[in-house]
Every structure is written in C-alpha cells, then in structure tokens.
Structure 1
Amino acid sequence: MQRLTAYQLRSLGVGVLIEDGHILALNKPSGLLVLPDRYDEAKANLIGLLTSAEPEMYVVHRLDRETSGVIVLAKTKDAHASLNAQFEARSTSKVYHAVCKGEAEADEGIIDMPLSEHSHVRGKMRPDMKNGKDSITSYRVLERFDGFVSVEARPKTGRTHQIRVHLAQSGMPIVGDGMYGDGVPFKLSAIKRGYKEGEEPEKPLLERTALHAYLLTFRHPASGEEMTLEAPLPKDMRSVMQALRKYAKSRPAKDM
C-alpha cells in the first residue's frame, strides 16, 4: 500500500493538522481504529491506511475507535522515543470535550478512581480501589442543559476508557456510550417538544460515543518547541450542541 496523500486522507475524513520530517498530527474521525484489531485485522485502521515500507509510522498514544480528534504519530525512532518519554512522564496536556447525560454535582472537580480490566467482559474497564492502576481526570462543566451537560475533561493519566468510566461513575455517562452508558443514539425528538415524525424514520444527530480529543500540547521531538494542536468539534457533535442550546434550555456553568 502506498502512503496516502493529504487529499486522500481528507476524503476518508482524516484531517492533517501538521506534518514535518519528525511527526504527523491528524484529526481522526470517529469509527476509525488507530491500530489493527487483534481479532479482525481486516477492519480499517489508521496505521494500515498510512504505512508502507517507507516511511515508518510509530504510534505514541491512542484514541478509542469511536473517539474523534487529535492524534500524533512519530515518523522516526528518535521522535518516537522523545514523544513516548513525554507521555510516560505525563508532561503532555490533553483536553477532551464530551456531551453527557445526567447532571454534574459541581462545575468542576477531580476524579481520582483507580481502574482495572473487567474480569468477565473483554475490553471493559472497571473501578478497582484495591488493585487498580492510578487514574485521575479533572473536569469542568462548559454548559448545562435539561438532562444533559457539556464537559471538558483533562486526563492526568492515560488508562484505557479512563474518561468514559470516570464520567459515568460520576453520574455523567457520555451520550452514545454503549459500554458505560445506555448507548442510545442522540435524536432531536428526545429533546424537542412536539416533534413530528416525517415520512422517513428519524435519523439520529449522533450515533457514537460523544467524546472528542480537542487539544493536545507537547514539545516537538526535534526542536523542543511547545506545540498545542486543536481539532475542532466534528459535525455530529456540533449538531448535538446546537440542538441542546435551542431546545434544552442552555445554562452556562456558574464560574463562566
């Protein structure tokens, strides 16, 4: 497979944020794996789309299949080592935006809840205060609605499904999350009074976990310059926010 051009990547919904001889930063769409599925290698994945014999691509961090947003890849072994060291030292900064069901008790807070793999459900994580790995997420409410809340989450650690578990355990399961929430797609009829069904069945505004990697800050592996990359909210999450603001009584957080 030949290395895809920026135009070809955009046609697949993958946006190129920045590229040089050391790194490639992308805006990953929802629905695309980062690495091949261990049980089904035929599933489309980012590395499979990008790589050929040259250049090599090195994964530094991951996003869940349904999570959209910023992801950075290394193009050399030296860049890989530098970025890996930054992530392991927790010197990078990650900001996610999520649309959640329920209510936040406070406008901001820190969720300190160790996590471990579920013993009976493959791929699922669970709170484990005794044997779990340290997992810390800070959050800030951006907007409140009737039955929903828009949240900014900043993971201090990088555990699998960390934000999803932490928000769900705090009474704010992410919209569309079938593993830690109800998995129900977001439909306009759920919030718009007097919604009238048309001739065709209603199409959901969002059919995936409403979680987006919005900002990533790190130091360039060659120059040492601090970089902050931003991936704007994708269309489906923008549509949900517009609908909530129009039909679900938007209320700013108290400290905004």
Structure 2
Amino acid sequence: MCTVSPSAAALPDPTRPAPATSAEGVRVLHVDAQLIVAEKPAGLLSVPGRGEAGRVNLASHLQAMWPDALVVHRLDMGTSGLMLLARGLEAQRRLGAAFEQRAVGKRYEAVVEGLIEAEEGRIAAPLMADWPNRPRQKVDAENGKPSLTYWQVMARTAETTRVSLKPVTGRSHQLRVHLQHIGHPIRGDELYAPLPLRAERLLLHAAEISFAHPATGLTLHFASPAPF
C-alpha cells in the first residue's frame, strides 16, 4: 500500500509495471523516475554476496529490469519487508542523505520470545561488532555507538509478544540485539535467539517506510503487512 501526501503522483514512469510477485518472491510496489520500492522476502539477500548463492539478491534482480537501480539501505537476509532503491546517483545521494539525517520513518514488526509486561518503552543500548564472533553484534556501554529503538506491544500469546518497532538509529542487527538485550530475542533468530529456534524464519518484517520524494519533496508512505 502506498499513500502520497499531499495527494499527487510522484513523477510517474510510463514503464512502471503493475505490482506483481516475481519468481524470487520480490513484489514491486512503486516505480518512478527517481526510485523503486519493493518487498524483499525472507531468505533473499539485499545485495550480492559471496559465491554462487550470492548472485541471487534483491538489488541484482531489480537491476535486471532497471539498470540504474542503486541500493540506499539494506535488510538482513532473514528479514522481510520494504526496501527503497534509488534510480541514478543523484537520487541515491539525496535518499542516502535522508537516511543519514534520520528523515526516513521506519516501522518493523516482530514476534519475540516471552511476554513483555509493559505496553511500550525504549531501548537505548550502544552497539558494536562482536569481532571474534562476526557477524554478531553486541551491547558495549564503553565502546559501542549510540543506538535507540522505540517499541510498543501489539499482541500477546501464551509464549510470545508481537511488537511494533521504530528504530531511531540504524546500526547493524540493531533490533535483533536490542530485543535480546531486554531478554526477549526475536523468534527464529539464528544468531541471538536460544535453541530451539521455534520458527522456520526470523520473525522480523519491515512493515512501513515514509520519506520525502527526492525530486518533488512530497511525502511518500508505504505499508506492507507482516506475513507471519
């Protein structure tokens, strides 16, 4: 779902396809002359990786249709949901600056282990790479970079809590480490959840993204329902 505020089209592209899901599970939600918004399925790399398996990824898939598509941000391989790509270097520069200036609104949904008692809160825990155990990250009060996540409970079951997450910063594995830090790792997280994982995938989804269009300045908002 996409909404534009104020109500107007943002540089429509006559080559824009109807939203459809590809063989790789990628669904394109929006294309115009400046950007692409797509849904990445869980298990697909955001960008090329090592070896033959790394050739199958969201960026390469979209570049086959739009050769000027450039990555602006990434999602972990296990995370599903909305990704924004720029078309051309100038759009990439402007959208990249919006991420750096924290002018991009992002909301995720996750299912975590255990029952969170409070209804909402914040996690301010500095993060850094856990070098001996890469790609793991860790909380480090002395050497970590400032990291902030806001959370709100959406629903509870007997064993889990569904939460809405709004990261202010964008550190590697931030949501995964922050939730583990408060004792509620994301279900299905191979790096940070206890065994057995009790989920076939990482239950983390990029559900909403909003930003100013790099050419028109109009605010675009996209939403994607969590598939779990």
User: What range describes the TM-score normalised by the shorter chain of this pair?
Assistant: 0.7 to 0.9
Question: What amino acid sits opposite 1:213 in the alignment?
Answer: A
Q: How do 1:91-240 and structure 2 match up within 5 A? A: 91-182=103-194, 184-186=196-198, 206-234=199-227, 237=228
1:59 and 2:76 correspond: no
Q: For residue 12 of structure 1, report the CA deviation from its aligned partner.
A: 2.1
CA distance in 2, matches of 1:132, 1:29: 30
Contact 1:216–1:229 at 8 Å: present in 2 too? yes
TM-score (ref. length: structure 2): 0.87
CA distance in 1, matches of 2:66, 2:169: 32
Q: For residue 184 of structure 1, report the CA deviation from its aligned partner.
A: 3.3
CA distance in 1, matches of 2:116, 2:20: 41
Q: For residue 82 of structure 1, report the CA deviation from its aligned partner.
A: 0.9
State percent identity of aligned pairs.
40
Contact 1:177–1:183 at 8 Å: present in 2 too? no
CA distance in 2, matches of 1:136, 1:154: 9
Q: Residue 20 of structure 1: which of 32, 35, 52 is its match?
A: 32
Query: Which residue does 1:254 correspond to in 2?
Result: none
Contact 2:125–2:141 at 8 Å: present in 1 too? yes
CA distance in 2, matches of 1:232, 1:53: 25
Aligned length: 211
Q: Residue 73 of structure 1: which of 64, 68, 85 is its match?
A: 85
TM-score (ref. length: structure 1): 0.78
CA distance in 2, matches of 1:156, 1:80: 21
Q: Report SS of the residue matched to 1:120.
A: helix
Q: For residue 6 of structure 1, report the CA deviation from its aligned partner.
A: 6.5
Contact 1:114–1:135 at 8 Å: present in 2 too? yes
CA-based RMSD: 1.8
Gaps of 5+ in 1: 187-205, 238-256
Contact 2:19–2:29 at 8 Å: present in 1 too? no
Distance 1:71 1:53, change over 3 A: closer
Looking at secondary structure, tell me which structure has more strand per residue: 2
Contact 2:20–2:27 at 8 Å: present in 1 too? no
CA distance in 1, matches of 2:175, 2:80: 14
Alpha-carbon displacement from aligned partner over 1:194-234 (angstroms, at most 9, x marks no partner): xxxxxxxxxxxx41110000000111111110111111122
CA distance in 2, matches of 1:98, 1:207: 14
CA distance in 2, matches of 1:40, 1:11: 21
